Structure 1
Amino acid sequence: NVYLTSFIQVGFAIPDAFVVGYALDYNEYFRDLDHVCVISVCRR
């Protein structure tokens, strides 16, 4: 028997930063965002 396997690798390039959103969270915050964001260390 010969099995044919195919797969798709999916990914994206991101900066070397702390990212959240789209199921990536920080202390259970920001998980429900529909996009990926970089957390800024600046305070306003």
Structure 2
Amino acid sequence: MVKKRLFLEKINKAIGEYSPEDYLISIDNHSIRIDALEVHQ
């Protein structure tokens, strides 16, 4: 559980340039999907 939280914090930091509303992280068992709700370029 702690490992998963640390991993999520790393992901959040990695995509921290985007506002939190721009992406959705869904965890299903061991697979993690990051869906971009809106792409900024």
Identify whether the pair has TM-score above 0.5, normalized to the shorter chain.
no
TM-score of the pair, normalised by structure 1: 0.30
Quick check: which one's strand share is greater? 2
Larger radius of gyration: 1
Quick check: which one's helix share is greater? 2
